[in-house]
Chain A
Amino acid sequence: MRGKENREKLIQLFLLTIALSAISILALISIFIFTEGLPIMFRHGFKKFLFSLDWYPSEGYFGLLPMIIGSLLVTAGAMVIGVPLGLAGAIYLTQFSSKKVRNLVKPMIELLAGIPSVVYGFIGVVILVPFVRENFGGPGFSVFTASIILGIMILPTILSISIDSLMALPPSYREGSIALGATQWQTVRMVLLPAARSGIIASLILGLGRAVGETMAVIMIAGNATALPRSILDPVRTLTSNIALEMGYVSGEHRQALFATGVILFIIIMILNTMANLTSKRMAS
């Protein structure tokens, strides 16, 4: 009996070590990114990194402001495209379509969430970039193009999670509202959407995180210029593409500057993660 207990203890301990792997990997990643990226930020001052417009890493200028703004612009653009489409789809499929249609369409869309980002980027390059260049002007590689492609990329995420959270509502909400004489749309607008709010917000934050973190597709279609875009038809560089573009040429301070870019990206993502975590917790309670 003793041996058995001991073995159980041992197993539990063993599993605990394994269970700590995720959090230790997270710690490992943060440690590496921060120890590589922070020293150069301290050396040159955070202000120079965060608020300078000049990115000439080989001359010692490491202004990341254009990339920070670039990331924000592209992400905001993606939300403008992805959110209405995603929400509309979720509302239509849960409230107005037959169950048959929903059961057919939802898995289809979830399958599409698996399309790799390079394929989205490629579609952007061969179809959207020339289209934008010929019809709207500019070089075609632009905030606008990147926003559309990213918006489409995050669409499946938003759609499927919003559907889940609308479906999770008790049917009595809907029935009660209809019984009171409200139309379906009034029910959606006044009862269901507010009730499913935190789930929907969580889906938006997830989509946001995906848009901020996307790299390869953005490099292919955003043009990567380090100037601040004057219009949505101008090229733009995001934090992620800044890292990936110049990663091959890393040495010395330049490399550290790329890690500093990683630090900023990391912080933005962690803030988003925490927000998503809090909203989903609120949803649970």
Chain B
Amino acid sequence: MIGIIMFFVALVLLLFGFPVAFTFGGVALIFGVFAEGMDMFAFMPFRIQSYMENTVMMAVPLFIFMGIVLQKTQLAEQLLEAMGKLFGSVRGGLAISTILVGTLLAASTGVVGASVVAMGLISLPVMMKYKYSKSLACGTICASGTLGQIIPPSIILIILGDVLGIPVGDLFHAALLPGFVLIGAYIVYILIVTWLNPEAAPAIPHDESMGSRKEQVLDALKAIVPPLALVLIVLGSIFTGIATPTESSALGGVGAVILSLLYRQFSFKMLIDSATETVKVTAMVFAILMGATAFSMAFSYTGGDAIVEEVLLNLPGEKWGFIILSMVAILVLGFFIDFVEIAFIIVPILAPVADMLGINMVWFAILIAMNLQTSFLTPPFGFSLFYLKGVAPSSIRTMDIYRGVVPFILLQIAVLISILLFPDFYGMG
């Protein structure tokens, strides 16, 4: 019960606007010490150490650095503008480009913090420059940034494979089509929105200086080459086995610095400034993780996990009722506990029931992964939302972000339902 009260208290206190990380930490401390005594916090160094030794998270500073260098050298801006122009009169070109860039990042990392922040740095300023609706821009970035969860390689799929006893390769394979359908749904949504409301995502205005169509295409190609080379380095190094996905993020960072040299944008000041900015953003991401780990510690050590277990054990024992209620339960829990906890605590409770009901476990795993991806987007505790807020200019308000993600959450739920209803289409019948 304490866990539930703690959750709502944190919710209210967050609204006052004190930094999220320390509000979580402080609330955890007050409730934890009150219920269990100070000694619970002796666990904190161990919890922090588990982040320190989690080398997959190293992608966070490294990809952020790559994003910041690309931004400072204007290479990212040129890429997105060029892609936007290439789509020509298509409104929403920048948003679609953002989704495509997000897809490429997703294919090289499964760490949401790294993707959302890098995307926020790379494309938010450009979309703002071209007067995109704030909420559309924010929603697009948050949603694209979470694609790393479903597009392999993905941490959540690896964990689910482990928990459910399914080979990781099978899950990676099965996740591809749902991932592409989701990306397609995002793009279709952007096209519809910009058709209904041209103001939301204006086309990059055409002026004479931009030259003929042919010149535009050439310009676009020129602008695309350097960042594309970078993407090829990152993805290529993973694909050829030169580097692990995490290491590829460092190659991306080094590659970005080399590009800045080639394009005469390099200076030591730029390098140090980029590193300093990276530290600020990285610290923001990890402070939230530190606060959240304290919060989840207090939640589980005061009996929160037991309550959740009990609720789940009372789910109905008939196929559709079970699936629908377990999906709703995961979605709701995703509002306030992190996906690792869900994978390790909730999924093992559901798995034997699913097995008994003859449910295809790969299908079940993909449903859960899609569902957990959504939990990164759901206000108020969606980590993507915090991360984007942390790098957004102050003209972007929390409300813009909340409003922006709602349609994308609905899209994800729609795709989730389509996987539920048409497993055969997704090859998981």
- The answer to whether A and B assemble together is no
Interface, chain A (partner B; CB < 8 A): none
Interface, chain B (partner A; CB < 8 A): none
